[in-house]
Structure 1
Amino acid sequence: MTQTASVLADPGADGRFGAFGGRYVPEALIPACRSLEREFRSAWSDSAFREHLTRTLAVYAGRPTPVTPAARLSAELGVTVLLKREDLAHTGSHKINNVLGQALLAQRRGCTTLLAETGAGQHGVATATVGALLGLDVTVFMGAKDVERQALNVFRMELLGAKVVPVTSGSQTLADATSEAFRHWVGQSETAHYCIGSVMGPHPYPWMVREFQRVIGEEARGQCAQLLPAGIPDVVVACVGGGSNAAGTFAGFVGTSARLVGVEAAGGASIGNGSPGILHGFESYLLQNDDGQVLEAHSVSAGLDYPGVGPEHAHLADSGRATYVSADDDEVLAAMVKLARTEGILGALESCHAVAWVLRAAGTDELPTSSTVLVTLSGRGDKDAAQVRELLK
């Protein structure tokens, strides 16, 4: 398959992935974004920084995470299913990979505070965790609706010493939490680092977060080489909200023959139902009306309840290198139960969007019998247990 040079590569000074990306922020934040880009380029080319991050990911975050063959599910579906177990990373999701990288970068830059947005709470928990580890103050912005449906993660953040700020504007979900975090960063950019949790935001964030999450795909590529006769799965699939776990996974396989599939929430399918627009400092596919007003997204999973998608995913879709589909709430709940009862693994609602697609596609032209599929299980479902209990009544 033909690839363009910018697919999962350095987007350059303008931060563009094809037609998408860029840096659309208030004038007051331009110096902060440019400084962050310079510092990231410097750190990422510094072997000492890279070695420190790799060592911390190993001894603190528990990397590498394993790839687990899902034997019973595979037998039932007629396809070989492998699970990349980011649910086994410290704090219960892939978020720790990015947060450790950004926090070490913030410390290198002399920042004393981390600001973060969160939806499902996993990014907030990871930020609070690393803040405690490194002695940095942490403030997390979270939509008021998400504060209610993710009460356990709110308590975890507060127990770790973070301040959690409920956001009551708009839809009171992830998009509004992100807007509030940006507003606070404008006034604190000299001492605070905004630790964005996904491959979104102004340049250099989409690129930087993808690079910090690249460890998922690079590990999985090597692990699949040991587990599969062909060395590479036929299909690689991950859930997509902003899309950091998918971007990190795809980075390990974009240069191979593997088909890349991102699974959005049906009520927030920006690539499937959106159009190009600008939100939170970047250009990508957004859910919006004919007047350009951003619409509310919906998902049973708080982490995918966002009306846009990372700009590199928009480019991967337009280039044809990746395919983006969606799964609805009922499919996701069924997938969560199926995974739990066949493999003894409680996956996060976000991750179960990817599992739902595998259940639907197995035995069809999308995922033929006897094919192999790698699913990134981006997080564990403990955080969703109370919500799911109510939904399944």
Structure 2
Amino acid sequence: MAACKLQGTIVRNQFIEKKVAPKERNSAVVQAVVTRDKFNVKIPQLATTYTPLPFTIPLIEKAKEIIVETEDTTSAGKFGRFGGKFVPETLVVCFNQLEAEFKNALHDDVFQAELATALRDYVGRETPLYHAQRLSEHYKSKNGGKGPEIYLKREDLNHTGSHKMNNALAQAMIAKRIGLKSVVTATGSGHHGLATAAACAKLALECTVFMAAKDMDRQSSNVRLMKLLGAKVEAVNGCFKDASSEAFRCWVGDLENSYHLSGSAVGPHPCPTMVREFQSVIGKETRKQAWEKWGGKPDIIVASVGTGSNALGMFHEFLSDTDVRLIGVEAAGLGLESGKHSSTLTKGEMGVYHGAISYLLQDGDGQIIEPHSIAAGMEYPGVGPELSFLKESGRAEFCVATDEEALDAYERLCKLEGIFPSLEAAHALAILDKVVPTLPNDNIKVVVNCSGRGDKDADIVFNCRK
């Protein structure tokens, strides 16, 4: 699918003078603009894109066909001016039917009971909220014995080793509910492909996974496991974005029999909303577990950002809790100035890609700039519309970690806690080096989403650290 730059008609940082009255701001996300008196300091030197915006409505020039909605941020899949459904007319009916099935499933007690049982007995939920004591002590030792208590949400302990199973299983159940026989999907790190292959095996569905040839080489263990589960794995030239395009084409060629199972919070409505909804179990459990462990909420939540599924799974539950600080960490690759990175929210611009408006890595002509990250699951030139809105609204902060910083964090967690994090999760862990020194020395609780298991990345780490 081609990208569209929107020719600068939406990307202008201009605002009209009229302020939006508090009573008009109905969205919890819009209301949740940063009140962080308890922290008193901002993160230094993070290449952060976090900038609190005034309560104003953006002035959109020469774009009469696009309406900015500030009050209902999720209407028809719109998050402010992001999201939507930019697909050929022939596919609109398919996505409308999918949305109807999704909404029916959400309100069907039988489906919800079956999903809850499967998440418990098959996936292994709830996953622990683990107190990383040695990691906490590591940072305290560098700060005069004072510092936050660090907890890990152990999504790596899910069946197949990542948070991806939460959504893959739920959507595979919807495909079965509709009566479709086969599922097509795309994967980068292999975690989503593996989760989908397992869910399809469980539910007797055929499964085809598209994956970039270079990702198949660097994530070969997951490829072997997908094949053992009965999935057909198709190699695609390019990277994850090209695999995503190919999966979409395959689905369009067989609409009557196949189901396109998105694992990323990107694409046309209702795909981003479905992924976020099925991943929101992560944040819901975190709230419950935090209350049980220390009688409160996390002060800071950190998650890596590729396309947005694990970050939204953690963040969504806490959007209206303005005293909870949300930090997303993108892949800086070889450095932001090198051009070899996947930092879409940090360096991207608005455009249309894969069926929705979001931030994209693109050149002046609207052509996609190839992303780079040592973590295959973060190597995508776009990001979900909801995270795009969270950036623009100021509700969440977004910063970056390089390949080297992620490798350091991977090894650190192995040696201090005996846990192999995925390289995707290692980006979130890496930012602790810069966040922790800025925090006050009171009883701060930091939760990092350990979104996946990292044995798949062991060869990469060894090869980079010979």
Q: TM-score range by the shorter chain?
A: over 0.9
Name stretches of at least 5 consecutive residues in structure 1 with no aligned partner: none
Separation in structure 1 between the aligned mates of residue 372 and residue 441 of structure 2, nearest angstrom: 31
Partner amino acid, structure 2, of 1:195: L
1:54 aligns with 2:119: no
Contact 1:238 1:263 survives alignment (8 Å): yes
Deviation at 1:255, TM superposition (A): 2.1
Matching residue of 1:5: 27
1:338 aligns with 2:412: yes
Contact 1:70 1:343 survives alignment (8 Å): yes
Task: Identify the match of residue 92 of structure 2 among 26, 30, 44.
Answer: 30
Contact 2:363 2:369 survives alignment (8 Å): yes
Contact 2:27 2:72 survives alignment (8 Å): no
Deviation at 1:234, TM superposition (A): 1.1
Matching residue of 2:222: 153
Contact 2:29 2:320 survives alignment (8 Å): no
Contact 1:153 1:383 survives alignment (8 Å): yes
Q: Please list every run of at least 4 consecutive aligned residues from structure 1 whose deviation after the TM superposition is greater than 4 angstroms.
A: 8-13, 367-370
Alignment of 1:357-372 (within 5 A): 357-365=431-439, 370-372=443-445
1:220 aligns with 2:286: yes
Matching residue of 1:187: 253
Moved more, 10-19 or 312-321: 10-19
Deviation at 1:190, TM superposition (A): 1.6
Separation in structure 2 between the aligned mates of residue 180 and residue 11 of structure 1, nearest angstrom: 30
Contact 1:63 1:89 survives alignment (8 Å): yes
Alignment of 1:107-122 (within 5 A): 107-122=176-191
Contact 1:119 1:143 survives alignment (8 Å): yes
Deviation at 1:359, TM superposition (A): 2.3
Matching residue of 2:424: 350
Deviation at 1:371, TM superposition (A): 2.1
Task: Identify the match of residue 304 of structure 1 among 369, 378, 384.
Answer: 378
Separation in structure 1 between the aligned mates of residue 431 and residue 441 of structure 2, nearest angstrom: 13
Matching residue of 1:91: 160
Identical amino acids, percent of aligned pairs: 49
CA 1:274 to 1:364, structure 2 compared with 1: closer, same or farther past 3 Å?
A: same
Q: Residue by residue, what CA displacement relative to the aligned partner does 1:346-373 show, whole Å, maximum 9, x if unpaired? A: 10000011000112221115x7664221
Partner amino acid, structure 1, of 2:265: V
How many residues were matched structurally? 387
Task: Identify the match of residue 319 of structure 1 among 381, 388, 393.
Answer: 393
The structure with the greater share of residues assigned to helix is: 1
Contact 1:277 1:285 survives alignment (8 Å): yes
Separation in structure 2 between the aligned mates of residue 184 and residue 10 of structure 1, nearest angstrom: 34
Matching residue of 1:382: 455
Deviation at 1:7, TM superposition (A): 3.6
Task: Identify the match of residue 240 of structure 1 among 274, 282, 305.
Answer: 305
CA 1:198 to 1:227, structure 2 compared with 1: closer, same or farther past 3 Å?
A: same
Contact 1:198 1:209 survives alignment (8 Å): yes
Contact 2:26 2:72 survives alignment (8 Å): no
Partner amino acid, structure 2, of 1:146: D
Separation in structure 2 between the aligned mates of residue 379 and residue 275 of structure 1, nearest angstrom: 29
Task: Identify the match of residue 150 of structure 2 among 60, 63, 81.
Answer: 81
Separation in structure 2 between the aligned mates of residue 26 and residue 145 of structure 1, nearest angstrom: 30
TM-score (norm 2): 0.81
Name stretches of at least 5 consecutive residues in structure 2 with no aligned partner: 1-21, 31-70, 140-146, 333-340
Deviation at 1:282, TM superposition (A): 1.0
Partner amino acid, structure 2, of 1:321: R
Task: Supply the RMSD in Å over aligned alpha carbons.
Answer: 1.6
1:329 aligns with 2:403: yes
Moved more, 334-343 or 9-18: 9-18
TM-score (norm 1): 0.95
Contact 1:239 1:246 survives alignment (8 Å): yes
Task: Identify the match of residue 103 of structure 1 among 172, 190, 194.
Answer: 172
Deviation at 1:131, TM superposition (A): 0.6
Deviation at 1:228, TM superposition (A): 2.2
